Amino acid sequence: MIANPVPWPNGARCAVAFTFDMDADSILHLAHHTSADTRLAAMSMLRYGPEIAVPRLVELYKRFDMHQTFFLPAWCMERYPAAVEAILQGGHEIAHHGYLHEHPNELPSEEELYWLQRGIDVFVTMTGERPRGFRAPTYKFSRHTLTHLVNEGFVYDASLMGDDVPYLLENATGRVVELPSHYALDDWPHFMASRDFNYFMSIKPPRQAMEVYAAEFDAMWEYGGLWVAVWHPFLSGRLARCVAIAELIAYMHTKGQVWFARLDEVAAYVQQLTQAGTWTPRVDRLPYYPGPIPELGEAEPTLAR
């Protein structure tokens, strides 16, 4: 079912990464710049992430002796240093998720680079090192993102959805490892309900979402894939959902032969296999198209309406 399965370490059947994007209130300021300060209920829902959920998740991981990856907009690192401290103290990785959750593919290349570098500066100041990984906010990876990541020394990206196993992104500037996920493993479609974001998923029992995640895991376990959850502390870190996550982790442990890893560890392992010639990842050359396809002409086509 997977054409090129990865020989995961120590005979593991699959690799598992619970990644959390700690967006906190950055997304509210971005969506409602002039009125975010008046939206206190939404603010409290989002602040629950760094203040309540992150310490809870760090504690949960400690119980299972797991080290995982958190993606943080650098502005959130500045606003919530205690969360940063808790994540680092737990032995987890912090990776780059924009400065203020800006959308790279809606920005000119130089502005995208400005925010990326401004974020890196915060990482260096607060963690003592540059980030190794990047996830584009809202998956909005741009035509220029790969070039900026290569030039800034990133090892991996975790924004795209092009495979069940790691692969490489390549252009004339260089390469990074892509660690893909997809919407079924994101928690917004399962849990997000907010008037301020005009986004309403029907409320359902946490275990219903866990059934989807577990089905994805079972398939990855069977065929040798990489399972990457794209979750948010303010959504999946709520109490009942967190209890369900603990049950999911316990299920994975019971099944066994699972490599629980930080994404920087997965990326380093892929590089190691590639260099040794033990396994050769697929390569995606970016961008996929130099511009809009010519078949429809330059105007907005009536065909699309």
Interface residues toward Zn ion, by CB under 5 A: 21, 23, 137
Residue listed under structure tokens 């982790």: 249
Q: How far is the CB of 21 from Zn ion (least distance, A)?
A: 4
Instruction: Output phi, psi for 2, to 5 deg.
Output: -105, 125
How many beta carbons lie within 10 A of that of residue 200, not counting itself?
A: 10
Count other Cβ atoms within 10 Å, centred on residue 288: 8
CB of 230 to Zn ion, least distance (A): 8
CB of 30 to Zn ion, least distance (A): 10
Q: Which of 240, 233, 177 is nearest to 208 (CA)?
A: 240
Q: Which is nearer to Zn ion, 148 or 175 (CB)?
A: 148
Q: Which is nearer to Zn ion, 137 or 225 (CB)?
A: 137
- When the beta carbons of 71 and 217 are compared against Zn ion, the nearer one is 71
Compare residues 12 and 158 and give the one whose CB is closer to Zn ion.
158
State the minimum distance, in angstroms, from the CB of residue 8 to Zn ion.
Answer: 27
Q: In this complex, which beta carbon is closest to Zn ion, that of residue 21 or of residue 25?
A: 21
CB of 128 to Zn ion, least distance (A): 24
DSSP 255: H
DSSP H or E segment with residue 250: helix 239-255
Q: Residue of minimal CB distance from Zn ion?
A: 21
**Angle, alpha carbons 101-106-109 (nearest 5°):** 95
Instruction: Measure Cα distances from 123 to 22, 28, 75, 88 in Å.
Output: 15, 22, 10, 12
Cα-based angle 76, 23, 42 (whole degrees, multiple of 5): 105
Residue 7 neighbours by CB under 8 Å, 6+ apart: 273, 278, 279
- If you write DSSP's letter for every residue of 49-100 in order, what string do you get? IIIIIHHHHHHHHHHTT---EEEE-HHHHHH-HHHHHHHHHTT-EEEE--SS
Closest separation between CB of residue 97 and Zn ion, Å? 6
Q: Which is nearer to Zn ion, 139 or 227 (CB)?
A: 139
Among residues 75 and 260, whose Cβ is nearest to Zn ion?
Answer: 75
By C-beta, is 90 or 137 nearer to Zn ion?
137
**Shortest CB 232 distance to Zn ion, Å:** 7
Local structure of residue 186 (DSSP, 8 states): B
Q: Minimum Å distance from CB 239 to Zn ion?
A: 22
- Measure the CA–CA gap between 243 and 206, rounded to whole angstroms: 9
